[in-house]
Amino acid sequence: MKSKIWLSSPHMGGREMEFVKEAFDTNWVAPLGANVDGFEEDLSKYLSNSNIASNNSDNKQTIHVAALSAGTAALHLAMIMLNVKTGDEVICQSMTFSASANPITYLGAKPIFVDSDRETWNICPVQLERAIEDRIKVTGKKPKAIIAVHLYGMPYKVDEVMAVANRYQIPVIEDAAEALGSTYKGEGCGTFGVMGVLSFNGNKIITTSGGGALVSNSESYIKQARFLSTQARDNAPHYEHTQIGYNYRMSNIVAGIGRGQMLVLNDRVALRRKINAIYREAFKDTAIEFLSEPNEKFFSNHWLTAIQIDAEKCGVTREDIRLALQEENIESRPLWKPMHMQPVFADCPFYGNGTSEKLFENGLCLPSGSNMTNEEQNRVISIILNKL
């Protein structure tokens, strides 16, 4: 059997074990410790100094960070701090992974799903405003929050989405789980809403094996997130609790991996973008369509290279390509199945025009790991070209 080519496998940078060894040497193997503090500081500096476009220090803001056990935990805490409760409604981008929507239900609230726009494949500003106006008409109150996702590293239309959110004074939580290293107008994804969420799962652009973070320019939100994520223990010599807390903090060992990964983050972004560029060049004479940056405001880390294979234009379906790759021991993956099409969310309202359904029908994610070799990428390209 030919060697396996993964969709996006972990890629170590070489110095992770230095930080992990330090945790062992100092016996800080439990949650919290110097690596957690250092990882939060690394992320804060990276996101606070992401304004490469203007290089104007007056525009920069301090981004505060709480390192957590998962991006899902970060979303959960964000909604708790926005006082989402049973009976509330929260708007969520439909084309996303279920982890974007699941925490809404943890709190007894109801997801309201919104379709994608055709350019970024992310939440459509027009359908977003339609959804808000209709929910106000139906329920007599506006949704409690908006969860907007930077899908596959592509920034959503930040200006347009934030304009709608501000018009109705609804807070935005950014799901930037796939978008560390992506920017909009030079500012890091995850820094535009009241809070942002990052993920360091095994397949992300950098990994801690598992883990996530909550980020915000509001220090009070991050302080509260740290408090809630350590079982909401009050300041007392004994264990005193006046609020329900959660066991959501990142371990010091895992954070050590993250510190090592931060040293190579910019290199990883460059490699993913190079892989994306090679695919584009290889398929430039075909009818394959890529998820592309609409203009110079958008900078995607191209975490995954995502394409559209229209059967009428290409002569083959997305499944034809996926199965051809699978036969050669190559992993690829359909785009996220929209949440409004998922059985578990069948009773949730949806506002759209069919865009995300069509994207899902034709969409495929190609192997994009930053540790792919040229030979491996050429294997992928050759199989696809032979199938077209």
Sheet containing 187-188: order of strands: 187-188, 183-184, 298-299
pLDDT tens digits, 276-334: 999 999 999 999 999 999 999 999 999 999 999 999 999 999 999 999 999 999 999 99
Q: How many CA atoms lie within 13 A of 106 on its CB side?
A: 17
Q: What is the pLDDT of residue 59?
A: 55
| Residue 263 burial (10 A CB sphere; 0-12, 13-18, 19+) | middle
Percent of the chain past pLDDT 90, that is, above it, reads 90
Mean residue pLDDT across the chain: 95
pTM of the predicted model, to two decimals?
Answer: 0.94
Cα-Cα-Cα-Cα torsion 69, 71, 76, 79, nearest 10 degrees, comes to 130
Q: What CATH architecture does domain 16-264 belong to?
A: 3-Layer(aba) Sandwich (3.40)
pLDDT average, residue stretch 100-107: 97
Residue 327 phi/psi, 5° resolution?
-60, -25
Take residue 103 and report the two structure tokens written for it: 């925490």
Torsion of the alpha carbons at 243, 247, 249 and 253, rounded to the nearest 10: 150
Residues 284, 201: Cα–Cα separation, whole Å: 32
Per-residue pLDDT tens digits for 147-179: 999 999 999 999 999 999 999 999 999 999 999
pLDDT band for position 56 (50/70/90)? very low
Q: Where are the alpha helices (DSSP H) in the chain?
A: 16-25, 34-48, 71-81, 102-106, 125-139, 158-168, 219-229, 252-262, 265-282, 311-314, 318-327, 355-362, 374-387
Give the integer Cα–Cα distance in Å for 58 and 73: 33
Q: Above 50 in pLDDT, residue 52?
A: no
For residues 179-188, give the mean pLDDT: 97
The one-character DSSP state at 28 is: -
Compute how many other C-beta atoms are within 10 angstroms of the C-beta atom of residue 325. Answer: 21
Ordered by start, the domain boundaries in the chain are 16-264, 266-387
pLDDT in the model for residue 29: 82
Which CATH fold would you assign to the domain 266-387? Aspartate Aminotransferase, domain 1 (3.90.1150)
Instruction: Return d(Cα 269, Cα 77) in angstroms, integer.
Output: 28
Give the rounded percent of residues in the chain with a pLDDT score beyond 70. Answer: 97
Query: Which of 205, 220, 378, 184 shows the shortest CA–CA distance to 300?
Result: 184
Helix (H, G, I), strand (E, B) or coil at 199: strand
pLDDT one-digit tens code per residue, 238-286:
988 889 999 999 999 999 999 999 999 999 999 999 999 999 999 999 9
Give the per-residue pLDDT at 28: 85
Write down the pLDDT at residue 235. Answer: 86
Distance between alpha carbon 129 and the CA centroid of its chain, in Å? 23
Here the tokens at position 138 are 């139906």
